[in-house]
Amino acid sequence: MSEELLFANALKSSKAFNLIKNDFSLGLGNAYLIISQDDEAVQSFFRLIACAVECDQHNSACLECDSCLQVLHYNYPDVKFFNQEKTPIKAEVMRAYLEESRKAPVIIKENRTPHVLIFIERLDLTSERVMNFLLKSLEEPPEGVSFFLGTANENGVLETIKSRCRKVYLDIFSDDVILEELKSLNVPDETAEIAVACADGQLGKARKIALSEDYNESYKLVVNLLTKMQKSTDIVFMSNIFDRYNKKSESNMEILNIMSIMLRDVMIYKNNPSELRDGPIKEDIKKVAASFSASAAEHAIMAVNDAKRKLYSPGCNPQAIADSLLFSILEAKHLWR
């Protein structure tokens, strides 16, 4: 990863960051649990916190001073970023992390308590047995050490660890904030709009969508399908939704996810059109909503969820799943007119 800090503006003004920033004057806690499904944003968030703690400009995370740059280059001695590959942590690897946490701080600065920062991403992927090694360190924390633990899922972390951490939920970001971040990454307008609409308030997800070559096409395919499919004879011509990807289940799932999001937005639009942001996406939703009632959209979402479940099962037949899904959507359209 580059020295640049992704989503710096959005993260700096996030509630989560400001919560932790409050602790700088009070003294950092021993352990924080950062909860978010957005892996990429958490990685950036961790780097931002480290910059803020070590920044030469009074915790401002200026991203320009020597200390900030050292953090961003991953060579600030007292700051350790672990499990950036986001995999289950093996026992010996966890032991090595904890060994690092017991080393005395190297950098001594005037008017500042020496500090070691340990960041561990996606702890929830790790087995309970290995998590227990970490628990011991949290029970008797080495002096001057703060642990920042990332998890996509609160339930994936041992209760005993959670009870020793301050819980911080990373924000769900507004469409406008995400749009700004995508623009600063030079994402073209139309792509950015689609990414924002499908990102569920997650910066990393939005960026991934914006960078995906297929996503735009998948999105258009779904709009076309939901708008134009009116009668059962249409199914024959439209049920090739999974064909473009050689049945790669991840990409097929992407199509179903886009479908869920569009149908959810149709329900929102039917209840209160002003809740959706004006722009090209709202125009698409309007087109789809012309042939769906709110109840029809709701039942169609259930059909999509059902298709997702089937797609996950081993040895499934994507074509049969697509046929049955389109049939169920049509049925919902007619039954809940």
* Residues at the contact surface with Zn ion, assessed by CB under 5 A: 55, 57, 62, 65, 68
Give min distance, CB of 296 to Zn ion, in A: 54
Query: What Cα–Cα distance (Å) separates residue 271 from each residue in 6, 193, 274?
Result: 36, 22, 9
Nearest residue (CB) to Zn ion, 7 versus 242:
7
Report which secondary-structure segment, H or E, holds 320.
helix 318-335
Nearest residue (CB) to Zn ion, 65 versus 253:
65
Give min distance, CB of 84 to Zn ion, in A: 21
Nearest residue (CB) to Zn ion, 61 versus 276:
61
Cα dihedral sign for 303, 308, 311, 312?
negative
Q: How many CB atoms lie within 10 A of CB 255?
A: 24
Give min distance, CB of 70 to Zn ion, in A: 10
Give min distance, CB of 30 to Zn ion, in A: 24
Nearest residue (CB) to Zn ion, 54 versus 181:
54
Give min distance, CB of 196 to Zn ion, in A: 30
Ramachandran area for residue 144 (φ above 0: left; ψ -120 to 50: alpha; else beta): left
**Helix, strand, coil content of the chain in percent (nearest 5):** 60, 5, 35
Nearest residue (CB) to Zn ion, 36 versus 44:
44
Per-residue HEC secondary structure of 202-261 comes to CHHHHHHHHHCHHHHHHHHHHHHHHHHCCCHHHHHHHCCCCHHHCCCHHHHHHHHHHHHH
φ, ψ dihedrals at 185, nearest 5°: -95, 10
Nearest residue (CB) to Zn ion, 62 versus 235:
62
Nearest residue (CB) to Zn ion, 65 versus 172:
65
Nearest residue (CB) to Zn ion, 55 versus 149:
55
Give min distance, CB of 239 to Zn ion, in A: 56
* 25: CB partners within 8 A, 6+ apart: none
Closest CA to 175 of 151, 205, 199, 144: 199
Give min distance, CB of 263 to Zn ion, in A: 46
Token duo for residue 193: 């709009």
Give min distance, CB of 176 to Zn ion, in A: 27
What CA–CA distance (Å, rounded) separates 101 from 115?
10
